[in-house]
Amino acid sequence: MMEHKGYVSGPIDFDPEDGTFSGTVVGLVDVIHFEGSNATELLESFRGSIDEYLAICAEKGRSPDKPFSGKMLIRATPELHRKASLRAAREGLSLSAWVAQQIDDAP
């Protein structure tokens, strides 16, 4: 996983026919693609693609997609929702803080 200016790469694919690695930035509506034939080129392409995306957005006067706003909608059964809420309350946490802690503690 690579990170640049808060943007994070998704899985990296390898094309054995072309000998290139490629990927996209995750967590966006817009698509930011990058590729390279080795690790250095891949990292440079990743950073350059994000910088170019931000420049294009600025030129067009529009706000770029923000990666990972921190807001998540989680769907669960009412039973699971109740169970999580009760656990959070027992630990003196809000449901959001408890879920975040569970994710952070996950291996």
**Sequence ranges of the domains in the chain:** 3-60, 72-107
CB 47 within 8 A of CB 54: no
pLDDT in tens, 16-53: 999 999 999 998 889 999 999 999 999 999 999 999 99
CATH class of the domain defined by 3-60: alpha beta
Token reading at 40: 């250095």
> What residues does 24 pair with on adjacent strands?
33
Lowest mean pLDDT across 22-26, 70-74, 103-107:
70-74
Give me the percent of the chain exceeding a pLDDT of 70.
100
Predicted local confidence at residue 20, as pLDDT: 96
Q: What is the largest CA-CA distance in the chain?
A: 56
Task: In whole angstroms, give the CA distance from residue 31 to residue 10.
Answer: 11
Predicted local confidence at residue 27, as pLDDT: 86
| Type of residue at 100 | A
